[in-house]
Amino acid sequence: MNVYFHTFGCKANQYDTDLVRQAFADEGAVVVEDPAAADVAVVNSCTVTAESEAKLRSFVRRLARRGPRLETVVMGCAAALDDGRIAGLRSVRAVVGGADPGAVLRAAGMPTGVGAQHAAPLQKHAAPLPWRGFRSRGWLKIQDGCDEHCTFCATTLARGANRSRWIPELIEEAKALAAHHAEIVLTGVHIGTYGQDRAADPGPSARGSTQTGVVGRDPGAPPRGQPTLGELLEALIAAVPQVRFRLSSVEATEVDDRVARLLIEAPRHLAAHLHAPLQSGSNRVLKRMGRHWYTAESYRARIEWLAERLGGVFGLGADIIAGFPGETDADHRTTVALVEALPFTYLHVFPFSVRPDAPAAKLREQLPAAVVRDRARELRELGDAKQRAYRASRLGQSADGVVSGHGVGKVELLTQDYLSVYLPIPQWNGCPRCEVTVR
């Protein structure tokens, strides 16, 4: 069977796709890059906005036009919340909520009996292989799910509560990933809460795993303290010192002193980069969003504290939602002022568009589309200007680059502070990690 894969959404989704892709390869399927050559397409979906679901449906329709015999299995977050609109697409063979490789294999119609071994523990697939040709960056999913209830987000519904993986298992997986990757990105849905679901580390004898590869808590285990993201990072760096780790999206106020110390003191081991969702600079809007664990002031204080200690080399990104229901012009101006004040090096701006399952869909004072669009445009322009200014400040300086892609005649390297630097192949020494000059 020839199988084509496509992933929408976050790095946690990319990790899940890697696991499923590995499971298909283990069962003898051929992974193809061209959907026209595939018998089955597996599409990992995202549910963050109504817009992302619309993009998913249009992509599935496009796939069907590329290969009239091609059937599609849709997995992931949007699949978990499907109201029938995905399942109803002509070429869709099955909709599988979540990311259980065994379930996706069966849904794709792999021969009888195949896939049973993928239904539970995923130890066999602990280190997804670098599929898209040479890839120096690997993903390590440290937790899944989230215990918060942001009113714009349906992720909690799709992925469930916070489930953290056990540190020794993560070290084992990181070691395997290090054989193929120079950088390992710690991913998850809410990684700042890593360990909060685990009163104690259960230890090797209590090892177990759920369908998503996330280990559950063992209530009988002796308490040995609740692990934290900082402790996990320290353990990973000690066990796998040859790679650079990077945090995917993490809440600014959940960067505790342990994590901060590593960012400041161990730049070869932990990239000087945070993607810290802000969503709004207005406390009133943050409250309506259900984001109760920080304020604009506490976000600002944490970022300024870090930026001061990291000096001029600090990649800082944020997600911002423009035009949330009830956002006044004054709220928007407060957000703009905060963005101007902080050393962001890029922004991801989302015009508010919520999927119907999320509580924000029912909030009063939904804003006219033109207002949402204008506010998003202003924030994007500001983000672009800050990105250009940061890059200009780094021109001619050296950086720690890890190969992240190949173009015609050149390689792309990602620096510790999340800049892409392109190097003509004749100037590249062939090493997956090397010092480069920002140009």
Which residues here bind ligand SF4, judged by CB under 6 A?
Answer: 146, 148-150, 153, 155-156, 189-190
Type of residue found at 222: P
- SS3 category, 275: strand
CA–CA separation, 104 and 27 (whole Å) = 12
Decide whether 63 or 80 has the Cβ nearer to ligand SF4: 80
Type of residue found at 419: L
Decide whether 153 or 270 has the Cβ nearer to ligand SF4: 153
Structure tokens at 181: 């990757």
Structure tokens at 354: 């919520």
Decide whether 250 or 399 has the Cβ nearer to ligand SF4: 250
Q: How far is the CB of 50 from ligand SF4 (least distance, A)?
A: 15
Decide whether 148 or 197 has the Cβ nearer to ligand SF4: 148
Decide whether 156 or 415 has the Cβ nearer to ligand SF4: 156
Q: How far is the CB of 399 from ligand SF4 (least distance, A)?
A: 30
Decide whether 77 or 240 has the Cβ nearer to ligand SF4: 77
CA–CA separation, 56 and 78 (whole Å) = 9
Decide whether 149 or 224 has the Cβ nearer to ligand SF4: 149
For residue 246, the Cα-to-chain-centroid distance in whole angstroms is: 11
CA–CA separation, 124 and 118 (whole Å) = 9
Q: How far is the CB of 146 from ligand SF4 (least distance, A)?
A: 3
Q: How far is the CB of 291 from ligand SF4 (least distance, A)?
A: 7
Q: How far apart are the first and last CA of the chain?
A: 44
CA–CA separation, 428 and 438 (whole Å) = 14
Q: How far is the CB of 148 from ligand SF4 (least distance, A)?
A: 4
CA–CA separation, 384 and 84 (whole Å) = 38
Contact 282, 333 (CB under 8 A): no
CA angle at 64 for the pair 61 and 70, rounded to the nearest 5°: 145
Q: How far is the CB of 192 from ligand SF4 (least distance, A)?
A: 9
What is the crossing angle of helices 296-310 and 257-265, to 10°? 30
Any alpha helices (H) in 224-256, and if so which ranges?
A: 229-239
Neighbouring C-beta atoms of residue 211, cutoff 10 Å: 16
Structure tokens at 224: 């040995």
Contact 207, 217 (CB under 8 A): no
Q: How far is the CB of 191 from ligand SF4 (least distance, A)?
A: 10
Contact 372, 351 (CB under 8 A): yes
